[in-house]
Chain A
């Protein structure tokens, strides 16, 4: 077990692409961290640097209390699960799981015992003598997990391990992996571009955008207090509503809505509100023209326009809805303000709340 520390770790590929801008963070022992971000943002690169599969251009990486920058992957005491599983196709499940132990000169009887244990834990006992080609996707996924856990590594690394599975199996494996990690208490770094996976599995989430860390936080922090419009629109389905509003001395105004607010900023702002924070209110100040009702069983989504800007509203299933005009309101607490150009969240707070943050954005 170990903590992982990155100190200004940076990656520039030989072709000049800066895939990861200097990144610093610490993962305490036993934590499950999810790296999330759109395709090509550098998640895999960052993970592969931790694994030792990619050279670190700059900065220091330590696992436990040693700096491992120049250490071979095999010497870093890690295990990795790949997107396409990377099982050795010519070896049986048993041999696949045992291969890493064998290379570490582990005694035969201990290997056998560990493989059996792992197989039991993963429900693979009946398949130990099959080749990977004779397994289903989910079973292959489990073998890949088995190969990782028999080694009792200090750190688990996952690179989109579930993206080759169908939706149902993905949900199931998600829970299994998380439960397993809890049980074993191994520090884990998990890469995904699926924000649902990130929200449900992570102790902490790291959101990456074109090589830069946008935000680090617990799922709840990330969801409710996104650090930027990027995070706001990337996390959550449907994403946070982002509309253009106006700040003048002490007031935020948007489409007939006017709220008292403490802010240093004057002029246009981006206003964010989660779809479930908009409520139907006959006296509401927001006039929405509903264009489409999306029926999702457990809830419904209303899509429409308010003052020429697109909004989505989340309704629980008890509330009926239809297209046409509708009035909405929203609790001021739930509004987030972002700088219209940089997209960073502003420290402006609604008048009902004391100011808590001192982060300031020049205008």
Chain B
């Protein structure tokens, strides 16, 4: 109380310094967030504005009222030649690809990882190397022969041909192997003493224990499958098999099309192709981040 001047003067500079650096941090973060958001905002704006206006003036500052209309057109009117690739049909195919891929990958990966980690297997080392070599070469580098083989097997324009070749890499297997190895040894021992065989142990104990991991994997794999582009582009030539992401190419052509390009409709399709994976990632953020960052240890 006696020494008012010093008690005020001393903390002031520190307080101010901290505040400035904090404001700087926020400024950078806001700039970064805007950098990320800007393209989406432009997409939304043009999707809600009449095409003619966009063509004349480009994206404006205000959202328009055409979103409903464009949405209806995008979802239910076909944009291709055969009339089969409405937004709705592409959405369906995208869902099948995303869910089918995630499901297949997880089931197959868990089974293989279980065999590798929990059994005395004579060919364990060989199996391990055969499986994990696949981590080295992405599909893109063997895309043409994969296409040829899929064609030979008569799988062009089928869901099997779309999904199964994408599963031919061991990311999920590797992930579950890592996780199973981190499960305490004593758990399987206790279970064996409790009279649980391999199938029972898997169903009663290992699968429930892996729940979070399965969820995390599912999100990552769903997004990965949904976002596939090159493979679907090659394997699906019939419009009723197009996924949203594969359809982007056609959307581009619409955009470049005749008299008045149908920006609104095209952009609605682009937005629809983004919403499900983004929603999944945002809603299940903590699982997703955990799965992503733990898969590579």
Are A and B in direct contact (Cβ within 8 Å)?
A: yes
For B193, the chain A residues whose CB sits under 8 A away are 51, 53, 73-74, 78-80, 100
Q: Which of A51, A84, A90 contacts B184 (CB 8 A)?
A: A84
Query: Within B183-226, which residues are at the interface with A (CB < 8 Å)?
Result: 184, 186-187, 189-196, 200, 204-205, 208-209, 211
A335 to B195, CA, bound (A): 52
Residue A15 at the chain B interface, CB threshold 8 Å:
no
Contact B189 A99 (CB under 8 A): no
Known: A53-B189, A80-B193, A103-B194. A86 touches B184 (CB 8 A): yes
> Would you give 18 A-B contacts (Cβ < 8 Å), ordered by A?
A51-B189, A52-B192, A53-B193, A73-B193, A74-B193, A74-B196, A82-B189, A82-B190, A85-B186, A86-B190, A88-B187, A88-B205, A90-B205, A99-B191, A99-B204, A100-B194, A100-B195, A103-B195
Q: Which residue of A lies closest to B194 (CB)?
A: A100
Asked, given contacts A86-B184, A86-B187, whether A53 binds B192 with beta carbons under 8 Å apart, the answer is yes
In the assembled complex, the Cα of A277 lies from the Cα of B91 at a distance in Å of: 88
A48 to B193, CA, bound (A): 11
Task: Decide if A320 is an interface residue (CB 8 Å cutoff).
Answer: no
* Complex contacts, B184 vs chain A, CB 8 Å: 84, 86
B194/A99 in contact, CB under 8 A: yes
Contacts of B191 in A (CB 8 A): 88, 99
A17 → B minimal CB distance (Å): 18
For the complex of A and B, list the 5 residue pairs with the smallest distance between their C-beta atoms, beginning with the closest.
Answer: A86-B186, A100-B194, A103-B195, A74-B195, A86-B190
Whether a CB of chain B sits under 8 angstroms from the CB of A333 is no
In whole angstroms, what is the CA distance A83 to B193 when docked? 15
**Residues in chain A within 8 A of chain B (CB atoms):** 48, 51-53, 72-74, 78-80, 82-90, 99-100, 103-104, 147
Q: How far is the CA of A79 from the CA of B189 in the complex (A)?
A: 11
Q: How far is the CA of A79 from the CA of B195 in the complex (A)?
A: 11
> How far apart are the CA atoms of A99 and B187 in the complex, in Å?
13
Chain A residues near B208 (CB-CB < 8 A): 90
Determine the chain A residues whose CB is within 8 A of the CB of B187 once the complex forms.
Answer: 86, 88
Bound together, the chains give a CA A326 to CA B211 distance in angstroms of 69
A74 touches B209 (CB 8 A): no
Instruction: State the Cβ distance, B191 to closest chain A Cβ, in Å.
Output: 8
A82 to B186, CA, bound (A): 7
* C-alpha spacing A72/B190, complex, angstroms: 12
User: Which residues of B are found within 8 Å of A84, using beta-carbon distances?
Assistant: 184, 186
Interface size of B by Cβ–Cβ distance < 8 Å?
17
Q: How far is the CB of B45 from chain A (nearest CB, A)?
A: 48
Nearest Cβ distance between residue A201 and chain B, in whole angstroms?
22
Kindly provide the distance from the CB of A73 to the nearest chain B CB, expressed in whole angstroms: 5
Q: Is the CB of A104 within 8 A of B195?
A: yes
Q: Nearest Cβ distance between residue A156 and chain B, in whole angstroms?
A: 11
CB atoms of B200 and A80 under 8 A apart: no
Q: Which of B226-251 contact A (CB under 8 A)?
A: none
**Cβ distance A83 to chain B, nearest Cβ, rounded Å:** 8
- Contact partners of B192 in chain A: CB under 8 A: 52-53, 72-74
Contacts of B200 in A (CB 8 A): 103
A74 and B184 CA atoms in complex are apart in Å by 19
Task: List the A side residues contacting B204 at CB < 8 Å.
Answer: 99
B86 shortest CB reach to chain A, Å: 44
Nearest neighbor of A88 in chain B, beta-carbon distance: B205
Please measure, in the bound complex, the distance between the C-alpha atom of A84 and the C-alpha atom of B183, giving whole angstroms: 12
Which partner residue on chain A sits nearest B189 by CB separation?
A53
Q: Nearest CB to that of B210 among chain A residues?
A: A90
Closest to B209 in A: A90
- Of B189, B195, B196, B209, which contacts A89 at CB under 8 A? B209
Give the residue name and chain of the A residue nearest to B205 (CB): A88
Task: Please indicate which of the listed interface residues B184, B187, B195, B196 has the most CB atoms of chain A within 10 Å of its own CB.
Answer: B195
Interface residues of B in 170-193 (CB under 8 A from A): 184, 186-187, 189-193
Of all chain A residues, the one with the shortest Cβ separation from B208 is: A90
- Complex CA gap A86/B209 in Å reads 13
Distance between B43 CB and nearest chain A CB, rounded to angstroms: 43
Beta-carbon contact of B190 and A80 below 8 Å: yes
Residue of B nearest to A48 (CB): B189
Name which residue of chain B comes closest to A81, CB basis.
B190
* A104–B184 alpha-carbon span in the complex (Å): 24
CA distance A84 to B187 in the complex (A): 10
Shortest B179–chain A CB gap in Å is: 14
**Distance (whole angstroms) from the CB of A314 to the closest CB of chain B:** 39
Q: How far is the CA of A52 from the CA of B195 in the complex (A)?
A: 12
Nearest Cβ on chain A to B125's Cβ, whole angstroms: 13
Nearest chain B residue, comparing its CB with the CB of A99: B194
Residues of B within 8 A of A73 (CB): 189, 192-193
Q: Which of chain B's residues have a CB closer than 8 A to the CB of A83?
A: 186
The contact string, 1 if C-beta is below 8 Å from chain A, for chain B 94-136, is 0000000000000000000000000000000000000000000
A84 to chain B, nearest CB (A): 6
Q: Closest chain B residue to A104 by CB distance?
A: B195
Closest to A153 in B: B193
**Cα A82 to Cα B193 with chains together (Å):** 11
| CB proximity of A257 to chain B, nearest CB, Å | 52
Measured in the bound complex, the distance between the Cα atoms of B204 and A88 in whole Å is 10
CB proximity of B286 to chain A, nearest CB, Å: 18
Sample of 9 further A-B pairs with CB below 8 A, known A53-B193, A74-B192, A86-B184: A48-B189, A73-B193, A80-B190, A82-B186, A88-B190, A90-B205, A90-B209, A99-B191, A103-B194
What 0/1 pattern do residues 142 to 186 of B give for CB contact below 8 A with A? Answer: 000000000000000000000000000000000000000000101
